Amino acid sequence: MKILLIGYGAMNQRVARLAEEKNHEIIGIVVRNSEKNYPYPTFEHISDATEADVAIDFSNPELLIPLLEEDFNLPVVVATTGEKEQIIDKLKSLSKNMPVFFSANMSYGVHALTKILEAAVPLLQDFDIELTEAHHNKKVDAPSGTLVKLYDVIASLRDNTTPVYDRHETTEKRTQDEIGIHSIRGGTIVGEHDVLFAGTDETIEITHRAQSKDIFANGAIGAAEKLVKNNNGFYTFDNL
């Protein structure tokens, strides 16, 4: 499989290393500053990489969204967080002409966590829910795209939900429809997501901890391997 990388930060550097260990080929990268010394050829546009079988994106909305406005038909795996709705809308439009894959978190374990929530939330309708995520001190967006995904799952299964991000500004008790959302940043934490169900005299906690960023890179490579064999369409872990 010949792979075009969109962005060449820490994540796509891992993708390159792991992909080559699996005998895939990195044919180039799309970056904004092509004057730096990169180990691969650089491209300005996705369509310039005519030899590629698939593109894998770990970048940012500022780089990705303009590229998605261009004319190309290369299968693409997108893992960028931020501007989620805009990115998904554009990918769904592109999916008429190519297979595309999107996930806010490329870990299959996180996908399994969403399925666990789909089972747990209907059983725990009277429980309060609090969501907490923790990441390294270089992560710029908060809350994480994964936590937003977890909230969306919960909101789809409860009649009324209100995300609450900052309680220190209010001096009133918690309402039943509140879903507390909390972000922690520090050190080199790879990624932790906790869901707390708090009932009367009992609590249930579900936790996912990433122990290496390799799980996200491998998840993207695995998605790409399947995507290139699929028909045109919009794919997630649910249908790939």
Q: What pLDDT score does 203 carry?
A: 98
When pLDDT is averaged across residues 14-19 and rounded to a whole number, the result is 97
Task: Name the band, by pLDDT with cuts 50, 70 and 90, for residue 98.
Answer: very high
Q: How far apart are CA 160 and CA 144, in angstroms?
A: 22
Contact between residue 79 and residue 28 where contact means Cβ atoms under 8 Å apart: no
Q: How far apart are CA 46 and CA 84, in angstroms?
A: 20
Choosing from 24, 90, 135, 213, the catalytic residue is 135
Q: What pLDDT score does 165 carry?
A: 93
Instruction: Tell me the CA distances in angstroms from 184 to 96, 143, 227, 234, one per residue in order.
Output: 39, 9, 34, 32
Instruction: Clarify whether 139 is annotated catalytic.
Output: yes
**Tens-place pLDDT, residues 115-151:** 999 999 999 999 999 999 999 999 888 999 889 989 9
Choosing from 2, 84, 111, 139, the catalytic residue is 139
Task: Name the band, by pLDDT with cuts 50, 70 and 90, for residue 12.
Answer: very high
Instruction: Match 């009324």 to its residue by tokens.
Output: 160
Task: State yes or no: pLDDT of 41 exceeds 80.
Answer: yes
Instruction: Clarify whether 111 is annotated catalytic.
Output: no
